Structure 1
């Protein structure tokens, strides 16, 4: 590709005009066309394919990621997401019929129309600079929105190549990139958007939510979480060790859904630690420093924060612990802690720290998990089905992977998002389309139905009340004790149930039942 200029912040003075371009473009109604959306998605696909070598190199420069890891978790993911969205766009955008409607209401053709929200702002993150920036953008394009993307300044090489791809392949009036840090982001937040999508930490998420509230702007927040892994006494220690270690080696643990700490039943702790050591030797036979697939901490500030957490723990380092400030190297480090109040549990590490807290039983593990962080982004229980079902039923989380580490987050068509203070809203696959879409309820009332609608006009009389009840009342399929009763009869007569079956089908069933009864009586 051509030589690109260095990372340069966008002029703050230009940001209001950039915002206006997006708003004006949306109100031109151009982006509502399905053909237009498909064209933009396909152009983005080929723009990314053309710059694949540059994007892989950018993530290597920014995060030390290997080309394999970048393609697996970022570029390949995004390319497949574009194809998925392009193939399914017409189906996602199609009107939906309302469910459970009465015969009278069906004449008004009640339906859900999928409307784009408008001009949206997407604020990306540095740990997966391609996936976490372009993933939401794909959803915005598919929904028919215009968008401004603000990539993370902490992954500047990926940011400038994404800007090159977008500016050279997409409609420049509809899709633009703003580069910069806090001042530029602040200027963007001073504009009125139709939705703001932010991926990052909870502290900034609060700032964005507060600013958005001033103009009643909806937000989608994809935040982090002190995610627990719980290993019961009946879990398979080898599988748990390998799968959880993989999660901390991926992107040097800079993954919002990787486990922040591991609660291990004391009965299985010695074997789990042995298997963890074996797995570490297998995955990194030359050590972390000699492993080309092991990256670096993104910034010196993040490295200092991690080093401070490690220095402040009262736990015992069992494996690893080596750090090199000059190269931002941080070795995978296993620490056995003795209390839930240890700094390694209280704060999100977002790095290769692996604190382990022994517990007496599953009940203690659940209590600690709910105490440390009641609404984490991810939860990872290991054990029997009975044990993991119990953990799931007595905890909350944005998502969960049973007997694995964040596998649920690796499925690109499965909705991804947090709950409580780990985020709000979800995206990926169809959820990305839904994230930037307003489900608009629409009815069309024909003129000929006026005689039926006279019940809504005053004066209100007993006769109108009787007619109203006949038209609108559903019959219960339960008695005063809450027991189901008469379900088939009411369904056949069309006086209750879901209302999904046609009147003809119900009468056909009624006739069939009557025939059986007559035949029985004659026998």
Structure 2
């Protein structure tokens, strides 16, 4: 550890929480956060506060998770700062009223538009594994959208949480944005308050508690959860690329990543080659061993260590690579476990490891791999498909997931401006980039009816019986179907002549000749031009 002094982690008094929320609600009602200039200035100040406390963040993440400098900057600090820059550069455009598309002509007379209104007072509950990114990221979107925000960082990364509180208090308006510290009592008290939206990142088990609390007040929630994410590897995949890319995704943050693969479903004919390539890649990534590397993180705490160890102790599989552990140092080596085709109920498959465990389950073919993937988790956060284009297309068509990466491990989850989120029990709602702004924005439909339209609107007023008002009303807005009773699309005579209702070669030739003739006629009509 360095000599950088970090602030202490102090629990917020539960008695203070209701007054904090009340203060932020009064601020929101005052419309202080409405002007986009105010939001942009707050985000810019947050950017520079992060820069000013960079060394403290590096130290905090090293203490909490043993994160190396490269990962700390790329996945935490720089990521967050880039998000701020992107939001501030685009916020004015996003916040403008939007003209809806495909509005009937008669309805355009009332100037329909979509206004971007902030939701209100937002609660953001962060996660321990990427404490800066997964706490500040949603908060940045909520600020950009014009809300007031309470941030509750994870107490499992206490040093990072304390530095984030210091950053917020040094940069942001305290009547608009507050950091609340604590564990279960403080979180429970927060959930008892009335919110306009709750954004939670964490486990499925805790998400159910959050959702139940939110339901009492009909509070909308965005839930960013995990998942037993499958990687599917076919015979046509490049095993060296498979090994390097999946090992990268499973060793980042010691596997404490919600979108890393939980298992590899590999064609049985390539399993031995895959294991050899994983061994080669592991030596390339950590020449002196993962335990001696400054680039390999530790498990967050003893409870998580014991949980992962229990999963490994309970497996029916055979450890073919790695397996060493040190509880005192919270170290678990990247560990490859080879399962048999009958081990679909193994502890490493039915639970999310959230650690550096890499189980491989051999399968007979791609169809079996897809079936097993759907059986293990119907709606994972990610699916990772390795093979030919036809094979990966088949995997995408045959599975569901929050996102997917083809021939890579969770690349879709590290593109900052690509909407990110789960589906089913891997989460609900998306954020990142513009999606972060939209996540905390109410798209409010507005019309403005001028007085001169009253004669046109007379058709909507009673009396209706004995009049032709229904016919008049239908002429103004009733759409005619462009399909017949069999569900086939109707086409005009000109289109039918041009296509002759078929794509056969002979009729295609006739169609080409017909088009050429039309072209000649047009040239003659236009004077040869």
Give the equivalent residue in structure 2 for 1:310: 312
Residue 406 in structure 1 maps to residue 395 in structure 2: no
The answer for the alignment partner of 2:481 in structure 1 is 476
TM-score of the aligned structures, taking structure 1 as reference length = 0.93
Label 1:63 to 1:111 Cα distance change in 2 as closer, same or farther (>3 A). Answer: same
The farther-off stretch of 206-215 and 450-459 is: 450-459
Distance 1:91 1:488, change over 3 A: farther
Structure 2 partner of 1:353: 357
Three-state SS of the structure 2 residue aligned to 1:417 is coil
TM-score by length of 2: 0.92
Consecutive unaligned residues of structure 2, counting only runs of 5 or more, are 496-517
Instruction: Point out where structure 1 has 5 or more consecutive residues left out of the alignment.
Output: 491-511
Deviation at 1:93, TM superposition (A): 0.7
Per the alignment, residue 163 of structure 1 pairs with 165
**What SS does the aligned partner of 1:224 have?**
coil
By how many angstroms is 1:483 displaced? 3.4
Aligned pairs for 1:124-163 within 5 A = 124-163=126-165
In the alignment of these two chains, the number of paired residues is: 498
Partner of residue 471, structure 2: 466
What does 1:53-64 align with in structure 2 at a 5 Å threshold? 53-64=55-66
Preserved contact between residue 123 and residue 150 of structure 2 (Cα < 8 Å): yes
State whether residues 477 and 487 of structure 1, in contact with CA within 8 Å, keep that contact through their aligned partners in structure 2: no
Answer yes or no: is 1:33 the counterpart of 2:38.
Answer: no
Looking at structure 2, the residues matched to 308 and 200 of structure 1 have their Cα atoms a distance apart, in angstroms, of 21
* Mean Cα deviation higher: 476-485 or 248-257: 476-485
Once the two structures are TM-superposed, the CA of residue 469 in structure 1 deviates from its matched residue by 1.4
Q: Residue 490 of structure 2 aligns to a residue in which SS? A: coil
1:451 to 446, 455, 460: 455
Partner residue in 1 for 2:117: 115
Write out per-residue CA displacement over residues 31-90 of structure 1, whole angstroms, 9 at most, x where no aligned residue: 010000000000000000000111111100100001111101111000000000000001
The aligned counterpart of 1:495 is none
Question: What pairs up with 1:262-273 in 2 under 5 angstroms?
Answer: 262-273=264-275
| Aligned counterpart for 2:226 among listed residues 217, 224, 227 | 224
Say yes or no: does 1:375 pair with 2:385: no
SS of the residue aligned with 1:163?
A: helix
User: d(CA) in 2 for partners of 1:137 and 1:472?
Assistant: 43
**Which residue is equivalent to 2:180?**
178
The Cα shift of 1:114 comes to 0.4
Call closer, same or farther: CA 1:3–1:327 in 2, change over 3 Å.
closer
What SS does structure 2 have at the residue aligned with 1:426? coil
User: Deviation digits for residues 144-175 of structure 1, max 9, x if unmatched?
Assistant: 00000000000011100100010111000000
Structure 2 CA distance for partners of 1:311 and 1:4, relative to 1, 3 Å: closer
Q: What is the RMSD of the two structures over their aligned residues, measured on CA atoms?
A: 1.8
State how far apart, in whole Å, the 2-side matches of 1:283 and 1:208 are: 39
Contact 1:197 1:219 in 2 (8 A): yes
469-478 vs 390-399, greater mean Cα deviation: 469-478
Q: Are residue 364 (structure 1) and residue 380 (structure 2) matched?
A: no
Once residues 6 and 279 of structure 2 are traced to their aligned partners in structure 1, the CA distance between those partners, rounded to angstroms, is 44
Deviation, 1:356, is 0.3
Whether the 8 Å CA contact 2:385–2:405 is kept in 1: the answer is yes
In the TM superposition, residue 485 of structure 1 has moved relative to its aligned partner by 3.4
- 8 Å contact from structure 2 (residues 6, 60) kept in 1: no
* CA pair 487-288 structure 1, distance change in 2 beyond 3 A: farther
Q: CA deviation at 1:214?
A: 0.4
User: Given the alignment of the two structures, is residue 73 of structure 1 paired with residue 75 of structure 2, yes or no?
Assistant: yes
CA deviations on 1:355-407 (whole Å, 9 max, x unpaired) are 00000000000000000000000100100010000000010000000000000
Deviation at 1:138, TM superposition (A): 0.4
CA distance in 2, matches of 1:111, 1:346: 48
Conserved 8 A contact 1:196-1:217: yes
- The CA distance in 2 between the partners of 1:370 and 1:156, in whole Å, is 37
